[in-house]
């Protein structure tokens, strides 16, 4: 099983990843990124991420990578 890491420095705040996650683990952070909009953060306190990589696939900035547990 794997989970993901999200690099907020690469995030361009398109928010495509927020909609594709089946468990809604991606949400807007309180950090303003390079576009002047809030970047996205990954929060998975209950280990719900199934490693489906849909978020990584949809991200145009390659800000999300899969990591093995
Ligand atoms: S890998 Fe799948 S479950 Fe995990 S955060 Fe991305 S879209 Fe959500
Ligand atoms: S898809 Fe990528 S660039 Fe777009 S909001 Fe998500 S992490 Fe940021």
What CATH number did the domain enclosing 37 receive? 3.30.70.20
pTM for the full predicted model: 0.94
Per-residue pLDDT of 21-65, as tens digits, reads 999 999 999 999 999 999 999 999 999 999 999 999 999 999 999
- Domain with 17, as residue range(s), is 2-68
Domain count, the chain: 1
Q: How far apart are CA 14 and CA 27, in angstroms?
A: 12
Question: Ligand 1 centre and the CA of 29: distance in Å?
Answer: 17
Ligand 1 contacts CB of residue 23 (under 6 A): yes
- φ/ψ (deg, to 5) at 18: -60, -40
C-alpha to C-alpha distance for 36 and 25, rounded to whole angstroms: 22
Q: Distance from the CA of 34 to the center of ligand 1, in angstroms?
A: 24
Under DSSP, the state recorded for 57 is H
What SS3 state is found at 44? coil
- pLDDT computed for residue 64 by the predictor: 98
Q: DSSP letter for 4, please.
A: E
Looking at residue 23, its pLDDT comes to: 97
Ligand 1 lined by 24 (C-beta under 6 Å): no
């Amino acid at each position: 099983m794997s989970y993901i890491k999200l690099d907020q420095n690469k995030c361009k705040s398109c928010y495509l990843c927020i909609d594709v996650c089946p468990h809604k683990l991606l949400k807007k952070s309180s950090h303003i990124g390079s576009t002047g909009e809030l970047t996205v953060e990954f929060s998975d306190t209950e280990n719900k991420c199934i490693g489906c990589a849909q978020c990584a696939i949809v991200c145009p900035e390659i800000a999300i990578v899969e990591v093995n547990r």
